[in-house]
Structure 1
Amino acid sequence: MGIKSLLSEPLARYIVSQQHEWIARSVQVQDEWLSALIKKARDTQFGRDHHFKDIQSYSDFKEAVPVSDYEDLKSYIARIKEGEQDILWPGKPLYFAKTSGTTSGTKYIPISKDSISNHINSAKNAILTYIAETGKSQFLDHKLIFLSGSPVLTDTGGVLTGRLSGISNHHVPAYLRSNQLPSYETNCIEDWETKLDKIIDETIDEPMSLISGIPPWVQMYFDRIIARTGKKIKDVFPEFSLFIYGGVNFEPYRAKLFESIGKRIDSIELYPASEGFFAYQDSQEEEGLLLLLNTGIFYEFIPSENFFDENPKRLSIGEVEVGKNYAMIVNNNAGLWGYSLGDTVRFVSTNPYRVVVSGRIKHFISAFGEHVIGEEIEKALRYGMERHPEVEVVEFTVAPMVTASGGSLPYHEWLVEFAKEPVNMADFVADVDRRLTELNVYYDDLIKGSILRQLVLVPLRKNTFIDYMRANGKLGGQNKVPRLSNDRKIADELIKINRS
């Protein structure tokens, strides 16, 4: 056992003991954070505009601070970008994390000196929690790779600006830097495919033990290594023992990734975003991700079915229930207030508070009133793959077909790129569709009422999704294709690319 793995074990036990302390008083911890955030931001421009000095309770806070999105905070962020201080949070942000928006264009999410520890320590603590539970730490003595965006930062009004993964790269603990790959120079390459080939050059002969990244881009890394070597990943990297991922549901990728690896290995799921690092998998045995309630964020939750109401009910952590879907709202120590992430979560436990990310509040199909959400789509596909174990899925998305050809009934169109297709496609489609009717009563009613017909699955040629991402300038990094849409913009472009 090396010195890094040896020293990690007592540190891991300490981190978990601290974790147990705040878990035992989760509701109180959240109340304390709300008070602390309001007190510190009282004299900011936002605090003055929303009368923070008069807020004495969560009820007062909800009266004073509306639920917002980036557009609502854009005028404040514009002032920060012009160099002003004390706007959303005292002083100036340490960074802006650039992220893509649908209506807002590029978004500039502030990260402060107070909030950077949430991003950095949470990632570190996820690994330490794994070590404490499993006793496995030897991977720290070998090479580690984090497939991420470029760490090159620019200046925006005196604030360093870049992608979150690139910003995080500047804060990798010193004791891990000697283990980290790829090199800084390679990480700075902007073109994903050029960068990926260079990453393979630098890693293929190294004892890689930990690989981290968004599953579709890790799969692309694996595919190119296999093409170059003719070997499974386990034979190229015999020490590879831990996969860390986030950003998308792992289940649709699981079979193909493990087939590429050639053996089962442990994995840790993370829930990071530019707005904060919200949760991580704290157990290899229990379902869900531990919601991080003691890292500078006060959370609110709106039942997803009420999110678009004029005055939706906002709940604090002590008011949530297991099994319900909520839109997650954050208030943090970088100056985001009443900020709707657009994500929905479902609690699987309240002792401790663990969640699964169930989808996006705006990513749903309800062309006919069915309101099918991402979690239901993914569960239905997973059921089909379990019934047809030969199936391996590379990527997929779903859209409504409102006007079907030949005057037939409308349907949901599934666009799927397979690594291995079902032996019997009709049976596979029937199984997926049946499971979706079991998961969504409205969809079931529409099928039984002959308003919709069974889903239609369109197999796509190899690399259709990669070609789509390339055409839209989103290949690699943290980018991903939405699982489902209520219109056909993505679907029609995919079909066009598939035919080219």
Structure 2
Amino acid sequence: MISFKSALAKPFAKRIYNKTQKWANNPIDTQKKVFQDLISQAASTVFGKDHDFISINNHEDFIKRVPVRDYETLKPYVERVINGEEDILWKGKPIYFAKTSGTTSGVKYIPITKPSIEAQVESSRNAILLYIHETGNAKFVDGKMIFLQGSPILNKKNGINVGRLSGISAHYVPKYLQKNRLPSWETNCIEDWETKVNAIVEETVNENMTVIAGIPSWVQMYFEKIQQKTGKKIGDVFKNFNLFIFGGVNYEPYRAKFENLIGRKVDSIELYPASEGFFAYQDKQNEKGMLLQLNSGIFYEFIKADEFFNDNPKRITIKDVEIGVNYVMIISTNAGLWAYNIGDTVEFTSIKPYRVIVSGRIKHFISAFGEHVIGKEVEQAMQEATSNTNIRVSEFTVAPQINPNQGLPYHEWFIEFENEPEDLLSLAKKIDESLQKQNSYYFDLIKGNVLQQLKITKVKQGGFQNYMKSVGKLGGQNKLPRLSNDRKIVETFTQ
């Protein structure tokens, strides 16, 4: 029997699908309108006056007047907002600061305005509605849903609420879903991640869970604790669980482990949210990439990643992007971020409509020898090497070994196995071959005897969780860097 709620979901999903198609099929004009709206609304702000927004008529004018910035270079403006000044980066004051921990900037306070949080909420809702429209599956709206997230407790800074993005988002769950939503408010407010996950297990283990959402590494921890408690596969504990919603990291390295934990395949929706904006979501189950949100108060620019550190790299709009090129994504938003480098690199998988995958972080790469290996390449290499095998990887990270005790330098892969291979050398060879195939610089260094084949170092079970705990980043939105250009992270595993 179809419930009233699931019956209503389908026509609503169709309406949102049609609305999405309008802007997705008219991308260039949509982005032009977003650009003009942003410039005109911010012209009277301090930032707008400093950068002569009133004279900006097109993208070329914008490039001349507004340089690319990261948090450090935007910080003088942000600090004025934090101090309570109005009309600095955007009209009035933001309603939130999303507090994030940067790798180089320490704590960052990202402004969130009323229109920007509304766009975030709308995009996360639309991702689910487009899934309903495509699949016809709306039954899950009658079951219990969980999103593993940070604490919703907010602090105040000069009258402005401050919290983690996922905690802020917890205040925007629609009323019609609140009865279905777990965990309880009290459990969600627990700060210690391990204590919180244990409490979530107790609250959910006997419920009809239909949707589970969160960063894969932390959902994996939740699943493992459920399995330890029940001795059953997740799919047997939650018989109606059929939709996994995730974001923050590439799911592919986790897929085999998840399917083993669940005991069957489930549908999934990939999201690309960040404190700075909700950039994309998966709109089709069988298409690679996520639909770039062109109508959400965000204007996008792109710089080729391999040109990014040049003196004057070319900034382009979606009109000029190419499929398969690694770009640094630059954003200007209705939260007052202008030509802002969020640090992510993306690759377009389609331009009709515009779909992207996240290929890595511009600061997270290995180029100790000029190879510029990125996150997407190491994840694909791992996936190719372990597919059609019984090898299951819990987590991994990669670092250069510049001064080995003997022989040539190499890349060292620190891998935590759930189900490890009998032959580590064979696995290393397969990963290395895949990496050479993907990255011509790495291929040349191996063939030119500058580097030797990568080596694998096993990390004991729970090792990466212990590392994240030791640096105060267990749970929430925190993610283990997939690769580094130094050995700071991996020193923990070599002592």
> What TM-score, normalized by structure 2, do the two folds share?
0.99
Cα distance in 2 for partners of 1:413, 1:460 equals 12
Answering whether residue 146 of structure 2 is matched by residue 145 of structure 1, we say: yes
Distance 2:159 2:494 in 1: 44
Q: Could you tell me which residue of structure 1 aligns to residue 10 of structure 2?
A: 9
Q: Which residue of 2 aligns with 1:297?
A: 298
CA contact (8 A) 1:207 1:239 kept: yes
CA-CA distance at 1:428 after TM superposition = 1.1
Partner of 2:285: 284
| 2:43 aligned with 1:42 | yes
- In structure 2, what is the equivalent of residue 193 of structure 1? 194
Q: Deviations over 1:150-199 (max 9, x none)?
A: 00000012110100000000001110000000000100000001111110
Instruction: Tell me which residue corresponds to 1:103.
Output: 104
Map of 1:235 onto structure 2: 236
Question: What is the aligned partner in structure 2 of residue 32 from structure 1?
Answer: 33
- Conserved 8 A contact 1:80-1:157: no
- Once the two structures are TM-superposed, the CA of residue 424 in structure 1 deviates from its matched residue by 2.1
Partner of residue 397, structure 1: 397
CA RMSD of the aligned region, Å? 0.7
Shift of 1:215: 0.4
Matched, 1:326 2:354: no
Once the two structures are superposed, what CA deviation does each residue of 1:467-498 show, in whole Å capped at 9, x if it has no partner?
A: 001101111111111000000101112333xx
Identity of aligned residues (%): 56
- The answer to whether the Cα contact below 8 Å between 1:95 and 1:110 also exists between their aligned partners in 2 is yes
CA distance in 2 between partners of 1:149 and 1:259 (Å):
27
Rounded Cα–Cα distance in structure 2 between residues aligned with 1:135 and 1:423: 44
Give how far 1:462 is off.
0.5
Counterpart AA for 1:322? I
State how 1:30-179 maps to structure 2 within 5 Å: 30-179=31-180
One-letter amino acid of the counterpart of residue 139, structure 1: F
Please state whether the residue corresponding to 1:73 is helix, strand or coil.
Answer: helix
Q: What are the Cα deviations for residues 363-386 of structure 1, in whole angstroms up to 9, with x where unaligned?
A: 111111111111111111001111
**Any residues of structure 2 matched to 1:453-472 within 5 Å, and which?**
453-472=452-471
Question: What is the CA deviation profile of residues 257-291 of structure 1, one whole-angstrom value per residue up to 9, with x for unaligned ones?
Answer: 11000111100000000000000000001111000
The one-letter code sitting in structure 1 at the alignment partner of 2:220 is: Q
- Following the alignment from structure 1 to structure 2, what is the Cα–Cα distance between the partners of residues 356 and 102? 22
The CA distance in 2 between the partners of 1:401 and 1:46, in whole Å, is 45
**Which residue pairs with 2:422 in the alignment?**
423
Aligned equivalents of 1:474 and 1:102: distance in 2? Answer: 12
How far apart are residue 57 of structure 1 and its match?
Answer: 1.1
Tell me by how many angstroms 1:457 deviates: 0.3
2:72 alignment partner AA = E
Quote the residue 1:260 is aligned against. 261
Give the counterpart letter for 2:431 in structure 1.
V
- Take 2:113 and 2:275, find their aligned partners in 1: how far apart are those partners? 12
Q: Report the secondary structure of 1:22's partner residue.
A: helix
| In structure 1, C-alpha distance between the alignment counterparts of 2:136 and 2:398, rounded to whole Å | 41
DSSP-derived class of the 2:368 partner: coil
Query: Partners in 2 of 1:168 and 1:488 — Cα distance?
Result: 35
Determine helix, strand or coil for the equivalent of 1:75. Answer: helix
Q: Which amino acid aligns with 2:393?
A: V
The residue that corresponds to 2:211 in the other structure is: 210
Cα distance in 2 between the residues matched to 1:243 and 1:24: 28
Aligned-partner Cα distance in 1 for 2:50–2:493: 46
- 1:446 corresponds in structure 2 to 445
Q: Which amino acid aligns with 1:394?
A: S
Tell me how far apart the structure 2 counterparts of residues 128 and 332 of structure 1 sit (CA, whole Å).
24
- Using the alignment, how far apart are the partners of 2:494 and 2:166 within structure 1? 31
User: How many residues were matched structurally?
Assistant: 494
Matched AA of 1:393: V
Q: What's the offset of the Cα at 1:129?
A: 0.3
Query: Offset of 1:3 from its aligned partner?
Result: 1.7
- Letter of the aligned partner of 1:366 in structure 2? S
Q: Could you tell me how far apart the structure 1 residues matched to 2:188 and 2:134 are?
A: 32
Report whether the alignment pairs 1:222 with 2:232.
no
SS in structure 1 of the partner of residue 387 of structure 2: helix
Give the Cα separation in 2 of the matches to 1:468 and 1:256: 20
Whole-Å separation in 2 of the counterparts to 1:179 and 1:494: 42
SS in 2 for 1:71: helix
- Whole-angstrom distance in 1 between the partners of 2:7 and 2:421: 46
**SS of residue in 1 equivalent to 2:302:** strand
TM-score between the two structures when normalised by the length of structure 1:
0.98
**Aligned residue number for residue 435 of structure 1:** 434
Residue pair 1:151, 1:165 contacting (<8 A) in 2 also: yes
Runs of 4+, deviation exceeding 4 Å? none
Aligned residue for 1:107, secondary structure, equals: strand
Cα distance in structure 2, aligned partners of 1:104 and 1:358 = 22
Q: CA deviation at 1:72?
A: 1.0
CA distance in 2, matches of 1:351, 1:59: 25
Conserved 8 A contact 1:429-1:457: yes
Where 2:425 maps in the other structure, the secondary structure is helix
Classify the secondary structure of the residue corresponding to 1:369. coil
Deviation at 1:425, TM superposition (A): 1.7
Distance across 2 between alignment mates of 1:353 and 1:103 = 31
CA contact (8 A) 1:329 1:338 kept: yes
Secondary structure at 2:115's aligned position in 1?
coil
> In the aligned structure 2, how far is the partner of 1:137 from the partner of 1:33?
32
Deviation by residue 1:174-228 (Cα, 9 ceiling, x = unmatched):
1000000000010000000111111011101100000000001101001011101
Q: 1:308 is paired with a residue of what secondary structure? A: coil
DSSP 3-state at the match of 1:368: coil
CA deviations over 1:119-169 (Å, ceiling 9, x no partner): 101000000000000000000000000000000000012110100000000
The unaligned stretches of length 5 or more in structure 2 are: none
2 CA distance for matches of 1:5 and 1:305?
47
Q: Distance in 2 between matches of 1:494 and 1:461?
A: 9
Q: Residue type of the partner of 1:362?
A: K
Does 2:357 align with 1:343? no
Structure 2: distance between partners of 1:130 and 1:330: 27
